[in-house]
Structure 1
């Protein structure tokens, strides 16, 4: 269980990035975070990853407080961030230096097979397309068997066809070990394709505004009536989140969510 308890973040210049975030995510659930610009989605992910410190509240994984990078919490960034001096297999196995060589090689080979890159194991990152590089970063995150996986808009720079292909690879890897997943996205279709639950955030300061459950069987057809209905519910929740609440009417208007 990932438990985010009354979490707030205020920066040194007084900017309130997050306020009173309460979110419990059971093991194995995929939660998409979506909301207007400035609502603190990436800040929340950085706090859960232990890359930044909260001003108030706590983050716990199975009862253990997270306040620094944790071996059971993986992170996939918007950019692949591969090491150019290592080949594909070396990048995927980079965090497994303490694992016996035979086991490390077997885990790397399996992860590369699951993302369709077995034949590219000895290629250099510069020889790969953008989509292939992001597949390597996803394999690298899963090969460590994280209990929590955080994804910060990992597919936003890719074309629609490549993005949908990577959704399939991501879900295939997730199905093997069922880590808890938090994914930040601006793409409603992506949220519908991947998530069990969509959490809509309201900006300035960032806080949780609404939740849309997606009890849909996988794989999901984006053209299916159930997927289109889910997308409409999310869009309606987003629209509400960008309207000033009574307590926010003197605040600066929110930016568009996209």
Structure 2
């Protein structure tokens, strides 16, 4: 289990990026962090990844405190960040030096098949489309079998069709090993498509405003009423987070979401 306890972050210039974040993410759960600009979503992800240090509080993975990059935690950024001097297969294999050559080859071949790029194994990153590059980045993260995978808006620069395709590839890889996933997104439909829970954050300073369970069967039907209802619930909470200083009671927000739906 990934646990964030009273986590806060204040920068050297006095900017309070995060204040008293408490969150538990179950093993195998996909959690989407969503909120307006400046609510600290990416800062929170960097703290979990060990790329930055919290000012207060603690991050624990299976009771182990995280204070620096950890081999059990993988991350995919907005940009693919592929190594231009390595071909597609070698980019995916990057980080697998600790396993045998045979196992490395098998893992890479399987990942290439899952993301539909087997025929592109020997190509260079510059020869791929943006969507293909991001598929390689996602495969590279999954191939190490992380316990936790952090996704920092990896689909934000892609068109809607490519984004939907990558959602399917991501879930296909996730189904095999079920790592814990924390996804940062600005896209409400993306959050509802992928996540088991949406955590709505509020800015200045960044803090958790609401948590909404998304109990929808996979694969999720975007045209179905339950999906549309879940989207409206998240949109309502997001709207409140941007327009309210003190949080409203959960029951009141639920009533308002239902009223909007009907």
Asked if TM exceeds 0.5, the reply is yes
1:89 matched to 2:89? The reply is yes
Residue 10 of structure 1 and its aligned partner are, at CA, apart by 0.2
1:166 matched to 2:166? The reply is yes
Q: What CA distance in whole angstroms lies between the structure 1 residues aligned with 2:213 and 2:174?
A: 19
Q: What CA distance in whole angstroms lies between the structure 2 residues aligned with 1:199 and 1:244?
A: 16
1:125 matched to 2:99? The reply is no
The number of aligned residues is: 247
Counterpart position of 1:186: 186
Q: What CA distance in whole angstroms lies between the structure 1 residues aligned with 2:123 and 2:206?
A: 42
Counterpart position of 2:224: 224
Residue 231 of structure 1 and its aligned partner are, at CA, apart by 0.3
Cα deviation per residue 1:137-170 (whole Å; 9 max; x = unaligned)?
0000000000000000000000000000000000
Q: What CA distance in whole angstroms lies between the structure 1 residues aligned with 2:83 and 2:195?
A: 30
Counterpart position of 1:22: 22
Cα deviation per residue 1:170-225 (whole Å; 9 max; x = unaligned)?
00100000000000000011001000000000000000000111000000011111
Counterpart position of 1:206: 206
Cα deviation per residue 1:33-62 (whole Å; 9 max; x = unaligned)?
000110000000000000000000000000
Secondary structure of the residue that 2:131 maps to in structure 1? helix
Counterpart position of 2:12: 12
**TM-score, scaled relative to structure 2:** 0.93
Residue 244 of structure 1 and its aligned partner are, at CA, apart by 3.2
1:245 matched to 2:240? The reply is no
Flag structure 2 segments of 5+ consecutive residues without an equivalent.
248-262
**TM-score, scaled relative to structure 1:** 0.95
Flag structure 1 segments of 5+ consecutive residues without an equivalent.
248-258
Counterpart position of 2:115: 115
Q: What CA distance in whole angstroms lies between the structure 1 residues aligned with 2:245 and 2:135?
A: 40
Cα deviation per residue 1:65-85 (whole Å; 9 max; x = unaligned)?
000000000000000000000
93-102 or 127-136, which deviates more: 93-102
Q: What CA distance in whole angstroms lies between the structure 1 residues aligned with 2:112 and 2:134?
A: 12
Q: What CA distance in whole angstroms lies between the structure 2 residues aligned with 1:55 and 1:229?
A: 38
Residue 99 of structure 1 and its aligned partner are, at CA, apart by 1.1
Secondary structure of the residue that 2:243 maps to in structure 1? coil
